[in-house]
Chains A and B, each alone.
Chain A
Amino acid sequence: MTLPDVHVTLDDLSISYPLSQSPWRTEQTLALHGVSLKLTQGDKLGLLGRNGSGKSTMLRAVAGIFPPVSGTIETCGSIASIFNASLGFVPKASGYENIFLRGAVLGMKLSEIRELVPYIKEFSELGDWIHRPVMNYSSGMALRLAFSITTAIRCDILLLDEWLGAGDAAFLQKARRRMTEMIEEAGILILATHNTVLMREVCNKLLVLDEGRMAYFGDLDEGLEMYRTQPAPARPIETADTSRS
């Protein structure tokens, strides 16, 4: 029996947000316009673009959170995502309780969640803090817990949005190694970040979004060169560092 191949296929995808809360004003703002691409097993896509270029929107669209206004999204494979460090944590509950709450949200049985707890405790390095309320965690701790929970679960498609760059160096290394493991185990990664150093280490393809449209899609190294030499308003961190030395 052959399993269907893991893939993410976008076909002329467009997404727009309502501009005003008022139900009588129907103006929309176009966040993604005509994005088409196909990712298959082993593709690790870096997502680059200025703030507001549509990266978060695209990730959420692939995750199934925003239904397309036009065009189609087709995914095959289980999807896991971290879109911000707090991950919908319940602040008054302890880290330990939040593991169960998150597991419940993901549709896991209590016994399944219990099996994951040792890995999460160890990977997050929270120690006794895991039994303290999440509202008392530093943002770094919350991030470690969030990442540990998400990577405890096997998935075919992993979506990460712009937060990994904010972790401390030691955790970043661990995270990178774990991500590489996960992707080798499974299929597809989409990582949106401004940290091009991280991107070079993890990704093999690049998508550059400019105001919702595809500016570049293809090999990572070529794309980063092109992005760097272009007079783009937002420069990646890498460029800023080298220009100072």
Chain B
Amino acid sequence: MYALKDINMAIMAFPSWAYIGAKRLQLEYRRTIVGSLWLILGFGISTTGIAVLLAQLQGMTLAIHVPYVAFGMAIWNFISMSMIGGSTVFEQNRAMMLQLPLPRTAFVISHVVKNLILFAINLATACVISLLFGWTPSVETFVIVPALLLCIPAAFAVTTLMGVIATRIPDLGELTASIMRLGFFLTPIFWRVDAPSARFHGADQTLDILGLMTIWNPFTHFLEIVRDPLLGEASTLLNWQVSIVLVGALVVAALIALQIAGRRVTYWL
């Protein structure tokens, strides 16, 4: 089957493609003075600012809210970059794809590795910021391991799916960017459903809008299985159910897309 052959060929040269992904990350800030330190500074500055502001708006204590926002933002950046970057992954590598018969998955590997490295850096930065504001890691933090493991096939699937479809229908890139912009607000990243100042929540209102937004937003569940262990909380069964089903569906969809349209991607570049 073409899709499996493509994936296999790319995985056989995995170190090379991972090296290219990491190298690209290093090159991004090459001509700046601060250099790759921007990866930490950029994330640190915006995250801390948003966290402190929203803590005030929502009536939360900094020690609780700053880690909540910091970890949430790190995870969201990973999701967002996988989705938006995935739409342009083949277009960006157009020159190389028209020179050599390379497996499509190769570019997916480079992109995912780059994003995973960035995710790790963001998580580390989030840890440092959180520690400064009074967060203490707990034993539950180790539960993050299965959640992180789930991130990997999720990233591969999303990138492949978006990449293949966006080559034929570039509108997908625009649509994804718009959805992610909106998603940043609709997903409980810098706000929480149970904050003191959160309105329209609870028994005295008939329509729990915030609660509905939270539950029906697929990003929420994915975010929570990674964030909850870090905050020492347990994710709900629903979180895990939705996340696993979602990732499973994405993997299947990605394989189908790769099988149908993967080979002829070069015709559409």
> Which A residues fall within an 8 A CB radius of B?
17-18, 21, 23, 60, 63-67, 81-84, 86-88, 90, 92-93, 97, 100-101, 104-108, 110, 133
Contact = CB atoms under 8 A, between A and B. Distances in A.
A105 B20 contact: yes
Given A90-B27, A104-B16, A105-B100, 11 more contacts: A18-B267, A21-B268, A23-B169, A64-B101, A82-B99, A84-B99, A93-B27, A104-B17, A107-B13, A108-B16, A110-B19
A57 to B, nearest CB: 11
Nearest to A106: B100
A105 B13 CA distance: 9
A23 B31 contact: no
A106 B17 CA distance: 10
Given A90-B24, A104-B17, A107-B16, A65 B100 contact: yes
B27 A104 contact: no
Interface in B2-30: 12-13, 16-17, 19-20, 23-24, 27, 30
What secondary structure prevails in chain A residues at the interface with B?
loop
Contact of A105 (B98, B102, B266): B102
B266 A88 contact: no
**Nearest 8 interchain pairs by C-beta:** A64-B101, A88-B96, A104-B16, A88-B95, A107-B13, A92-B27, A67-B263, A83-B99
Contacts of B93: 88
Nearest to B98: A65
Given A81-B99, A87-B99, A88-B95, A17 B267 contact: yes
B267 A104 contact: no
B3 to A, nearest CB: 14
A106 B102 CA distance: 9
Contacts, number: 67
Contacts of A133: 30
B168 interface: yes
A138 B69 CA distance: 48
Nearest to B31: A92
Interface in B158-208: 168-170
Nearest to A86: B95
A45 B16 CA distance: 33
Contacts of A17: 267
Given A88-B95, A92-B30, A105-B16, A63 B23 contact: no
Contacts of B170: 21
A151 to B, nearest CB: 15
B107 to A, nearest CB: 10
Contacts of A60: 98, 266
Interface in B91-139: 93, 95-102
A61 to B, nearest CB: 10
Contacts of A18: 267-268
Nearest to A66: B266
A231 B267 CA distance: 33
B110 to A, nearest CB: 10
Contacts of B17: 104
Contacts of B27: 90, 92-93
A23 B168 contact: yes
24 contacts: A17-B267, A21-B170, A23-B169, A63-B101, A65-B98, A65-B100, A65-B266, A66-B267, A84-B95, A84-B99, A86-B95, A90-B23, A90-B24, A92-B27, A92-B31, A100-B19, A100-B23, A104-B17, A105-B96, A105-B100, A105-B102, A107-B13, A107-B16, A108-B16
Contacts of B266: 60, 65-66
A18 B269 CA distance: 11
Interface string B73-106: 0000000000000000000010111111110000
B96, B97, B264: residue with the most chain A Cβ atoms closer than 10 Å: B96
B266 to A, nearest CB: 5
Contacts of A88: 93, 95-96, 99
